[in-house]
Amino acid sequence: MTFSDLNLNRFLLDALTEMGFETPTPIQEKAFSVIMSSKDMVGIAQTGTGKTFAYLLPILRQLTYSEQKQPRVLIVVPTRELVVQVIQEIENLTPYINVRFAGVYGGTNLNKQKQLVYEGQDILVATPGRLLDLALDGILKLKQIQKLVIDEVDEMMNLGFRSQLITLLDLLPKKRQNILFSATLTQEVNDLLHDFFKSPIKIEVAASGSPLNTIKQLAYPVPNFYTKVNFLVNLLQDKTTFNKVLVFVKNKKQANILYEELEIALPNDADVIHSNKTQNYRLRSVKNFEMGFFNILIATDIIARGLDLTDVSHVINFDIPKEPENYIHRIGRTGRAEQEGIAISFFNEEEAEYLGEIEILMNMEIEVLDLPDNIEISTRLIDEEMPKVEPESKNAKRIITEPSGPAFHEKKEKNQKKNLGGSYRREIAKKYKKPKTRGQKRK
């Protein structure tokens, strides 16, 4: 099937042709007729499968000219970066269509975004927080909304937007079409579907949690932060192979430390983005990464969702995320549009359990390799790795080590059970052994 086989008008077909798109992806093909039917829909598809066009094409096909001020289509996404991307995609699809659209998100001037809404829009793309700011302020009226799209809904739940989504759904008109897209179908997402959707049609182009077939996944046991730095630098020195690399780190502090280390080892090859960076800085960094001004981008999970970065050769998980769904979204930055990609993960002793949970979610094993012998094992630790010393309490209770008084008695044999942590934990411990240290070496 080609886009010409879908019920698209010539304006959309011309725009797709100019962008070089001829064939719809499976999620685009399957979602088109369902959204055109105005029925509620939930689409389960991983990042990189074309979800944005899957809802934009039928929406733009049905959208008619109107002069009303308030928006008729509302698209809610979890991050500012994704708002910018969706707006760009709408712009790409509408050079020959008269449609008004705008994006609103936090961290920017509220009055300017109020003015955008006041001028009148057909499509509004928004993050949940800023959307509610505008709605509760009275400048944005939601009673004209005909179609609601919630994209990356599982990530919204992870980011704590559940209560804001519930408030938003209560403010919207009851008679509307609900369109939801997610890479994974969690219990929270199922609860949302049950409470607010009307018998949604489910379209799933891959099992929830399954990895893209185009991504080769590898993992290495690495004992601590600075040994991970040594290994990462060793890999990234091969710029021919590692030509466009996303490195995911679990928090802002570690992202900054890693960036400083790479600036010393590989000057001007990397940049870093996280929530403490300004919106303009983050957008500029992503743009420069896309244009090839540097080949390594360090990031927290803030950009793991939705951003359509092209030709990423490798995703490197500097650590393993606690939420296995976040791993799926991280590695989905590579292997997009049927290209091949590689995901490499570093894990320490604590993170081995997280890796096991990821394998359960994906229903497949990740290939685990030994850390190469030429990688120096560091004895230097960051604050989070320092041994925890519990201060002695003056009021600590006395520990009884001997039977004390006639009330003491031995437990019956059947009640003398030991907590072994379950067979699952034992199997994980066998597979992911403690990373070897090979003695003390440099820093």
* Full DSSP string of 137-183: HTSS--TT--EEEEESHHHHHHTT-HHHHHHHHHHS-SS-EEEEEES
Is the residue at 425 inside a domain?
no
- Looking at the structure, do residues 249 and 361 belong to the same domain, yes or no? yes
Residue 286 has a pLDDT of 87
Is the residue at 107 inside a domain?
yes
Nearest to 206 by CA among 58, 435, 45: 45
Q: Are 248 and 318 in contact (CB under 8 A)?
A: yes
Is the residue at 395 inside a domain?
no
For the chain, the straight-line distance linking the first and the last C-alpha, in angstroms and rounded, comes to 57
- Looking at the structure, do residues 319 and 343 belong to the same domain, yes or no? yes
Q: What does the block give as tokens for 151?
A: 């994209």
Q: What does the block give as tokens for 11?
A: 């304006």
- Looking at the structure, do residues 329 and 367 belong to the same domain, yes or no? yes
Residue 361 has a pLDDT of 84
Is the residue at 209 inside a domain?
no
Is the residue at 397 inside a domain?
no
- Looking at the structure, do residues 267 and 147 belong to the same domain, yes or no? no
DSSP H or E run through 10 = helix 10-19
Q: What does the block give as tokens for 393?
A: 């309490």
Q: How long a stretch of residues is the chain? A: 443
Low-confidence ranges of the chain (pLDDT < 50): 401-426, 440-442
Q: Are 46 and 183 in contact (CB under 8 A)?
A: yes
Rounded Cα distance between 352 and 239, Å, is 29
Q: CB under 8 Å to 419, separation ≥6 — which residues? A: none
- Return the amino acid letter for 364: M
- Looking at the structure, do residues 105 and 148 belong to the same domain, yes or no? yes
Rounded Cα distance between 376 and 372, Å, is 9
Residue 307 has a pLDDT of 63
Is the residue at 336 inside a domain?
yes
Nearest to 326 by CA among 396, 380, 399, 251: 251
Rounded Cα distance between 319 and 350, Å, is 10
Rounded Cα distance between 426 and 430, Å, is 6
Q: What does the block give as tokens for 23?
A: 């064939």
Q: Are 305 and 152 in contact (CB under 8 A)?
A: yes
Question: In Å, what is the CA distance from 218 to each residue of 244, 300, 326, 369?
Answer: 17, 20, 16, 7
Q: Are 255 and 298 in contact (CB under 8 A)?
A: yes
What is the total count of domains within the chain? 2
- Looking at the structure, do residues 224 and 271 belong to the same domain, yes or no? yes
Q: Are 71 and 144 in contact (CB under 8 A)?
A: yes
Residue 149 has a pLDDT of 96
- Return the amino acid letter for 399: I
Q: Which structural domain, as residue segments, surrounds residue 107?
A: 3-204
- Looking at the structure, do residues 328 and 251 belong to the same domain, yes or no? yes
Is the residue at 440 inside a domain?
no
Nearest to 219 by CA among 438, 431, 441: 431
- Looking at the structure, do residues 191 and 232 belong to the same domain, yes or no? no
- Looking at the structure, do residues 240 and 189 belong to the same domain, yes or no? no
Beta bridge partners, 110, equal none
Tell me the chain's radius of gyration from C-alpha atoms. Answer: 25
Alpha-carbon 165 to chain mean position: 18
Burial class of residue 356 in the structure, from the number of CB atoms within 10 Å of its CB (0-12 exposed, 13-18 middle, 19+ buried): buried
DSSP H or E run through 258 = helix 252-265
CATH for 310 = 3.40.50.300
Instruction: Supply the DSSP symbol for 210.
Output: P
DSSP H or E run through 314 = strand 314-317
Is the residue at 420 inside a domain?
no
- Looking at the structure, do residues 229 and 319 belong to the same domain, yes or no? yes
